[in-house]
């Protein structure tokens, strides 16, 4: 059976196509396009007509690609932007009328749980894992053992939202960085509850995989070089300072960073640095596997153990 999953995120729309078997799946195609549907949506705003048109155009192309691959089912999920937008139903109706697909809006905990399952995969061991997923509109932290999720939380901040909140100019003044830290202190006030001792820490999401590629000096993205690449907290701190101290044009000139991500990559990196320092994470491995793969595993392969989410 061939299955496609489309994920509408705050910053990007992504598609994952896989051949699904009884005990696993084979990736066939994966693509990400930045449409920034969640631009200015924070705090109960509206999805703009321009953002709707950009996103619908990308979804149309992705559905066409799914048909090229001969998929049997096309699934569509949405996260932070449609959780927040006051006109989310209008966008859902457009997708239903134009493409005959139902957009399933995930709760923050559902998104977190799928990110965990995608990053960890199907495993029978009882190793402890902590997953950090930094998106455009939200950040998820998940703790579990093996495939069993013990704690899943979603926080209402991501690379886009932090950028829109502070609207920094580059290079970023130290006073703005201090304000951002105080802001994150308020959002992540309770994260010491996570018991990460002896945990395997994994980072996922656009910010994390971009940093893994940047740290390796890649000029062409290759997920094989991203998966299980180790980022230390010291290196993340260095990259954070570097990205804050370079102009937007200098960031746009870095080949491995998508031009449309250049204005938010520093803020996403700062969130990762903040979390690693607060949780005393000395290093984490990066994975180009998250909620897309998690959706396939949960809905097509395993008898889910995350129904509570």
List pLDDT tens digits, range 211-242: 999 999 999 999 999 999 999 999 999 999 99
* Interval 148-163 mean pLDDT: 94
Could you tell me which residues are beta bridge partners of residue 6? 15, 76
State the pLDDT confidence band at 43, using cuts at 50, 70 and 90. low
Let me know: does 32 contact 55? Beta carbons within 8 Å: no
- Both 141 and 274 in one domain: the answer is yes
- For residue 146, what are the contacts with CB-CB under 8 A and spacing of at least 6? 120, 123, 124, 125, 126, 127
Domain of 86: which CATH number? 3.30.420.40
**Rounded to whole angstroms, how far apart are CA atoms 2 and 26?**
9
**Rounded to whole angstroms, how far apart are CA atoms 224 and 53?**
33
State the pLDDT confidence band at 193, using cuts at 50, 70 and 90. confident
pLDDT at position 124 is 62
pLDDT at position 68 is 98
Q: Is there a domain that residue 115 lies in?
A: no
- Both 153 and 244 in one domain: the answer is yes
- Both 252 and 135 in one domain: the answer is yes
Q: Is there a domain that residue 117 lies in?
A: no
* Interval 179-185 mean pLDDT: 98
- Both 219 and 70 in one domain: the answer is no
Q: Which residues of 148-170 are buried (b: 16+ CB within 10 A; e: fewer)?
A: ebeebbbbebbbbbbbbeeebeb
Let me know: does 144 contact 129? Beta carbons within 8 Å: yes
Q: Is there a domain that residue 61 lies in?
A: yes
Report pLDDT digits (tens) over 80-89: 999 999 999 9
pLDDT at position 305 is 43
State the pLDDT confidence band at 128, using cuts at 50, 70 and 90. very high
**% of the chain surpassing 90 pLDDT:** 87
| 58 SS3 class | helix
- Both 95 and 179 in one domain: the answer is no
Q: What angle do CA 289, 79, 213 make, to 5 degrees?
A: 35
Mean pLDDT of the chain: 93
- Both 194 and 256 in one domain: the answer is yes
| 241 SS3 class | helix
Residue 22 has pLDDT above 90, yes or no: no
- Both 136 and 276 in one domain: the answer is yes
* Number of domains forming the structure of the chain: 2
Q: Is there a domain that residue 116 lies in?
A: no
240 compared with 45, residue with greater pLDDT: 240
pLDDT at position 293 is 97
Final residue of a domain: which of 57, 78, 105?
105
Structural domain span for residue 94 = 2-105
């Amino acid at each position: 059976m061939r299955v496609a999953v489309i994920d509408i995120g705050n910053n990007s729309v992504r598609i994952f196509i896989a051949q699904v078997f009884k005990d696993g799946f084979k990736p066939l195609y994966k693509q990400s396009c930045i449409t920034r549907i969640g631009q200015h949506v924070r705090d109960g705003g509206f999805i703009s007509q321009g953002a709707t048109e950009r996103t619908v155009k990308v979804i149309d192309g992705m559905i066409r690609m799914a048909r090229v691959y001969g998929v049997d089912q096309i699934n569509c999920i949405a996260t932070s932007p449609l959780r927040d937008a006051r006109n989310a139903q209008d966008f859902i109706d457009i997708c239903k009328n134009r493409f005959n697909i139902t957009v399933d809006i995930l709760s923050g905990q559902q998104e977190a749980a799928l990110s965990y399952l995608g990053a960890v995969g199907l495993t029978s061991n009882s190793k402890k894992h902590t997953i950090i997923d930094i998106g455009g509109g939200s950040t998820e932290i998940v703790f579990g053992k093996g495939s069993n999720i013990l704690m899943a939380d979603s926080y209402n901040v991501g690379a886009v939202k932090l950028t829109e909140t502070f609207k920094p100019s580059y290079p970023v003044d130290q006073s703005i960085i201090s304000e951002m830290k105080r802001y994150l202190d308020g959002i992540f006030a309770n994260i010491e509850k996570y018991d990460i001792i002896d945990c395997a820490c994994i980072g996922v999401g656009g910010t994390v995989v971009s940093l893994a590629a940047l740290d390796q000096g890649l000029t062409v993205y290759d997920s094989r070089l991203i998966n299980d690449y180790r980022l230390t907290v010291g290196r993340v701190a260095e990259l954070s300072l570097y990205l804050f101290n370079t102009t937007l044009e200098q960031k746009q000139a870095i080949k491995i960073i998508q031009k449309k991500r250049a204005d938010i990559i520093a803020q996403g990196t700062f969130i990762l640095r903040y979390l690693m320092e607060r949780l005393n994470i000395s290093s984490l491995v990066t994975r180009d596997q998250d909620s897309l793969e998690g959706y396939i595993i949960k809905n097509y392969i395993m008898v889910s153990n995350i129904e509570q989410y």
